[in-house]
Structure 1
Amino acid sequence: MTTTITVPVLIVGGGGAGLSASMLLSTYGVESLLVSALPTTSILPKAHVLGQRTMEIYTEAGIADEIYRRGTPQENLSYTGFYAGVQGPHPNAGREIGKLDLWGTGYRDPEYIDASPCPTTNLPQIRLEPVLKAHAEKLNPGGVRFNHELIALEQDDSGVRSTIRDKATGEEYHVHSQYLIAADGGRTVGNLVGIRLEGERKILDMVSVHMSADLSGVLNDDSVLLRWLANPEFGGTFTGGVLCPMGPDNWGTKSEEWVFHIGYPYGDPDAGDRDKVVAHMKTLLGMPDLDAQIHAVSVWTMEGIIADRFRSGRVFVAGDAAHKHPPTSGLGLNSAIHDVQNLCWKLAQVLSGHAGDGLLDTYEAERKPVILRNIANSVKCTQDRFQLDAALGLSPEKTPQENWASLEVIWDESHPDYAERRDQVNNALAAQSGEFHHHGLEYGFTYESAAIVDDGSPVIEPIDPVRLYEPSTKPGHPVPHAFVSRRGRTFPLQNLTHGGKFVLIAGEDGQAWIEAATKLAQSTGLALEAVTVGADDADLADIRFAWLRKRQITRTGAVLVRPDRFVGFRAAQAVTDPQAVLTDALSHILSTDLGAQQ
């Protein structure tokens, strides 16, 4: 007789998105079962940068400290550099072309410090996923199963019935769940429910070489994380490769392990020849005799694609099952983590009976526009790389001698074309900043959906929607960061939402809002905390006045923050009946009638 397991949520896929979904659901008190067809977590380096919003999510899940401990120290995570190769016979081989600040400049950029209590960090997925898996298993013992593959599913109004095979034993069993999250990279579930990935395919073939090698004698500047090689011997940055340290014990130039990415035209047979790839890598580095232990050579296709829909009945796609990005901008894994945060708190509310099914429709409404912008920026950054090569005067069509002659002008102040060429290069490098300082995309993205109550205030037109995050409490925006204090303990205001709670933040004289929220929470059982925050006479002291600068409400107003730390409702000042207004706002957000639950 076939065993049937009943669980509220089945997660298919054990990568960054699936494991994060498991942790978050456990944090929200929702039981889940995760199955992955793979025998273990990733054996390839894959993605590595973890942005500020992602690290806020991992702080809530209780795993951020471990990730920071294992990740790149901030002093080794400050810049991205462009170089004329690494070594070679030419006297300028390895010379620096330029550097750009990288994702907060080692958490020294005031904009990044003001935005979040969590610095950006860097930890390759091959090392991140085991940390996530161990924590997911700790939070949900027995609820994480690798080497178990989904082979069939069907769904109806009662839920999703999935057939799972234990690949080690061949045994099959059924899982009956209320909902299913597909985080399987688009390999199985999407096809079974008719979800298609659409967009720009076959942009390039990329090859990643994971190796152990001692490069400390040939590299300098420990503050640089990513090294882009614009090698005149081969024609530019796309043909020159990019080098990234992987630690694990030392970082910067002393890293024990590295990953080297090389771009090939789509379909180039050389990309699939391991020996040719390794030889080509050594040639690009200018180190034909490099003593390197090769751990893996992986080939993957650069794409910019997105699912035609994120939901099919009770099945939701997330992460690579919903979208695939070019690696430029480093937003692929981060977007996946943001996906599951957005989805999991909504599933928790629906499963608890506090929200209607319409709340789940807002998952696609909120996430898809964000993903489309992220993909567009990643594709643009890829195209901007050609602009940089043009400014450097590098081309695969030229001889190495011609490329060197063109490049050397940018270092020769006595050359008549120096000023013009150097300005062209600086402008091209500045255009690349949308890849390495995209705070507006990574942190400042906003939502518009039925789960947001528009307050009628003017739409905020950002100065630069890619590069800059501008704090606001307008509904749909992430709640601004501020440190607050209570009874001698200082903590980030946003942490009040941890555990899947709504938080009502009122001004110093907003006691009527506090009383309304308290009554609503007591009468409905909704997880809703209410506090006053201010410089004086408040539940929480705004010790550095950051909330006062950013809150955009009066002393009698209030801001309602959703469990994902996005503002769902705002009242600039007191209202006649705060109980009714707050009930209506939460009913709107949750797609239900909270009044009927009281």
Structure 2
Amino acid sequence: MKFNQDVLIIGGGPVGLSLSIQLSRLGIRHMLIERNTEVSPHPKSRLLNPRSIEILRLWGLEDDVRNVRVSAKPTFYFGNDLISAWRQVFRPAEVLSDEISRSVSPCEVEGVLCSQDVLEPILRAAATSYETADIRFGWNAEIVSGLGQDGATTVGICDLANGVSETLNVRYLIAADGATSPIRTALGVETTGADRTLEAISVLFRSDLSKYGDTGVSFFVLSNPETIGTAVIAPVDEHGRAALLGRPKVMDEQPLETINWEEVLRLGVGVPDLPLEIIDVRAWRAAVVIANEYRRGNTFLVGDAAHLMPPNGGFNMNTGIQDAHNLAWKLAAVLQGWASEALLDTYDSERRPIALFNAAEAIRNLKALVDKDEDGRGGGFRQDHYVHPGLALGYRYNNGAVVYLADQDRSDNWSVGEYVQSPAPGARAPHLWLTSPSGQTISTLDLFEQNFVLLTKPETAAAWATAVNDAARVTGAPVKLITIGNGGDWNSTSGDFSALYDLRENEAVLVRPDGHIGWRGSAPDSDALTQAIGILTKQPEMAHFA
């Protein structure tokens, strides 16, 4: 059957757009369908963690995000309301400066405050700038036949404004269609939940809060059983917009549609006559829903369709962006002919454990926030809620397209609050600042996107060059040799490359296009490198201990 589209993405939120951008950068033509023509004004997800910023950096969008972010460093105030004395103040940047070196990432380790309503236009503009992408806002998609099969899926698409329709035969279908995901439901994919579901509210409003508190901060965490109960007031931007988030006391006392949100907000601020304007009110559910399968035949679940978790810690959108980054290079590899379908199975085996781990952390944060103490107060403090570089940067792929070390710990119990860079297979490649002979400065992370990259020292370059050429010729995979050190392609300016990557004698490290280490070679050997790339791209189920 002839395919009209190799890849069709249904859903144009941050994750669908991220997948589109990465596919375009890898040269893959595709289409994205999104019902909505406008971005929702509601802020929703606010924190971009350092790994997501590193990915945006690859796409040339880091400065765009910096231009619209909340400029203040995240700070958390705990108390009864905005005008009373604070019981506790916590500044993550101060903890990070003591516990973790800023040399572990080219981006802020504490993350950036950039809400979805200002991030999404940046992603839309970037996605639509590529000729490889056919982006259609204001279009609807309906599955006609072949959903979840190994052949083509037939999809009908329609322009909602004028009724113009088309029928497509799609090779790979990406469900980025949200938490209720009609595609996931139609596939019959079951989900794993958690022991906590909390009906919550988000009230977007405009008011000048500057005279009552530091509105450049990230969160005011309020816990007062006599008035508002447990809730958060979060300034959204520097133009007077803020949001009330959580489950205030009034939600336990009367139906949602009867609540006077102006009165509730004034209780939260502590000012009975506070001037304010309600912009939007949206109910939501703090729950965990993880799809038991991320792939069914030619269909893949990404973002909220694959996983939903409470917002506590800001993990869900970041997990989704990283899902897209993982899946894109694998789709490109198969479509370009240098990988087999088996590589696509590793999207599930690599990314689903990350979602389960992150969701468990979000639940812990939620419980700490809303569970009541003996005085009836919530708003409990858990440092890992606010400082989690280990979760953001330290996650590893312990089952998938990775050739493991014999003594490697393959558990999913990495640290949340602490992060030490690791050169082990499955880990994100360590960051170092590099300078070229011409004076250009980049991060090691900037080297990884288009190819497999074999990193080694200059003195072993000639021997490894033969192995790289042979492996590329035999496997068809794009492989590039890069040397780091005196006389090499790049020289490290922020640390010892050989020590950080644990390279002895003639060793080398093979880094996948998504920046995760895939294999470590003990000596230049064409057969060993060719076999490793063959396992990674065509037979990952045979990944063995090196």
* TM-score after normalising by structure 1: 0.83
Q: 1:160 aligns with which of 153, 174, 187?
A: 153
Paired residue type of 1:111: I
Q: Which residue of 1 aligns with 2:40?
A: 42
Q: Which residue of 2 aligns with 1:229?
A: 222
Identity across aligned pairs (percent)? Answer: 28
Q: Which residue of 1 aligns with 2:188?
A: 194
Instruction: Verify the 8 A CA contact 1:350 1:356 in the aligned structure 2.
Output: yes
Q: Which residue of 2 aligns with 1:137?
A: 128
Paired residue type of 1:390: D
Find the residue that maps to 1:143 and give its secondary structure: strand
Instruction: Verify the 8 A CA contact 1:207 1:298 in the aligned structure 2.
Output: yes
Q: 1:27 Cα deviation (Å)?
A: 0.7
1:456-508 deviations in Å (ceiling 9; x for gaps): 1332889961111121111011101001111211110111113x321110134
Q: Which residue of 1 aligns with 2:528?
A: 581
Q: Which residue of 1 aligns with 2:206?
A: 212
Q: Which residue of 2 aligns with 1:23?
A: 21
Q: Distance in 2 between matches of 1:320 and 1:271?
A: 28
Q: Distance in 1 between matches of 2:222 and 2:250?
A: 20
Which moved further from structure 2: 20-29 or 446-455?
446-455
Which moved further from structure 2: 448-457 or 106-115?
106-115
> Quick check: 1:560 aligned with 2:507?
no
- Unaligned 5+ segments in structure 2 are 541-546
Paired residue type of 2:85: R
1:13-412 → structure 2 map (5 Å cutoff)? 13-73=11-71, 76-87=72-83, 94-102=84-92, 104-105=93-94, 108=97, 111=100, 113-119=102-108, 120-140=111-131, 143-155=134-146, 156-185=149-178, 186-200=180-194, 203-220=197-214, 222=216, 224-234=217-227, 239-247=229-237, 250=238, 255-263=239-247, 270=254, 272-273=256-257, 275-386=259-370, 389-390=372-373, 393-395=375-377
Find the residue that maps to 2:530 and give its secondary structure: helix
Paired residue type of 1:197: T
Paired residue type of 1:217: K
Q: Which residue of 2 aligns with 1:402?
A: none
Q: Which residue of 1 aligns with 2:425?
A: 475
Instruction: Verify the 8 A CA contact 2:262 2:276 in the aligned structure 1.
Output: no
Q: Distance in 2 between matches of 1:504 and 1:274?
A: 62
Find the residue that maps to 2:87 and give its secondary structure: strand
Instruction: Verify the 8 A CA contact 2:30 2:133 in the aligned structure 1.
Output: no
Find the residue that maps to 2:354 and give its secondary structure: helix
> Quick check: 1:529 aligned with 2:476?
no
Paired residue type of 1:514: A
Q: Distance in 1 between matches of 2:278 and 2:74?
A: 27
Find the residue that maps to 2:454 and give its secondary structure: strand
Q: 1:266 Cα deviation (Å)?
A: 12
Q: 1:282 Cα deviation (Å)?
A: 1.8
Q: 1:153 Cα deviation (Å)?
A: 3.8
Q: Distance in 2 between matches of 1:439 and 1:142?
A: 33
Instruction: Verify the 8 A CA contact 2:233 2:245 in the aligned structure 1.
Output: yes
Q: 1:200 to 1:368 in 2, by over 3 A?
A: same
Instruction: Verify the 8 A CA contact 1:271 1:299 in the aligned structure 2.
Output: no
Instruction: Verify the 8 A CA contact 2:452 2:480 in the aligned structure 1.
Output: yes
Q: Distance in 2 between matches of 1:442 and 1:477?
A: 12
Instruction: Verify the 8 A CA contact 1:507 1:555 in the aligned structure 2.
Output: no
Aligned residue pair count = 532
Q: 1:467 to 1:480 in 2, by over 3 A?
A: same
Instruction: Verify the 8 A CA contact 1:207 1:271 in the aligned structure 2.
Output: no
1:449-460 → structure 2 map (5 Å cutoff)? 449-459=399-409
Instruction: Verify the 8 A CA contact 1:324 1:332 in the aligned structure 2.
Output: yes
Q: 1:126 Cα deviation (Å)?
A: 1.1
Find the residue that maps to 2:465 and give its secondary structure: helix
Q: 1:289 Cα deviation (Å)?
A: 1.7
Q: 1:204 to 1:8 in 2, by over 3 A?
A: same
Q: Which residue of 2 aligns with 1:490?
A: 441
Find the residue that maps to 1:240 and give its secondary structure: strand
Q: 1:463 to 1:365 in 2, by over 3 A?
A: closer
Q: 1:466 to 1:36 in 2, by over 3 A?
A: same
Q: 1:275 Cα deviation (Å)?
A: 4.9
Q: 1:266 to 1:280 in 2, by over 3 A?
A: closer
Q: Distance in 2 between matches of 1:68 and 1:589?
A: 36
Q: Distance in 2 between matches of 1:198 and 1:279?
A: 38
1:306-341 deviations in Å (ceiling 9; x for gaps): 002111100000110011001111101000001111
Q: Distance in 2 between matches of 1:486 and 1:325?
A: 42
Aligned CA-pair RMSD: 2.6
Q: Distance in 2 between matches of 1:532 and 1:296?
A: 54
Paired residue type of 2:230: G
Q: 1:463 to 1:24 in 2, by over 3 A?
A: closer
Q: 1:566 to 1:273 in 2, by over 3 A?
A: same
Q: Which residue of 1 aligns with 2:455?
A: 505
Which moved further from structure 2: 452-461 or 169-178?
452-461
1:501-544 deviations in Å (ceiling 9; x for gaps): 2111013432222331134335655322111213x333321222
Which moved further from structure 2: 546-555 or 177-186?
546-555
Q: 1:269 to 1:514 in 2, by over 3 A?
A: farther
- Unaligned 5+ segments in structure 1 are 88-93, 397-424, 594-598
* TM-score after normalising by structure 2: 0.91
Q: 1:97 to 1:447 in 2, by over 3 A?
A: same
Q: Distance in 2 between matches of 1:31 and 1:37?
A: 20
Q: 1:138 Cα deviation (Å)?
A: 0.8
Q: Which residue of 2 aligns with 1:401?
A: none
Q: Which residue of 2 aligns with 1:400?
A: none
Q: Distance in 2 between matches of 1:70 and 1:591?
A: 42
Q: Distance in 2 between matches of 1:136 and 1:105?
A: 36
Instruction: Verify the 8 A CA contact 2:33 2:137 in the aligned structure 1.
Output: yes
Q: Which residue of 1 aligns with 2:544?
A: none
Paired residue type of 1:95: A
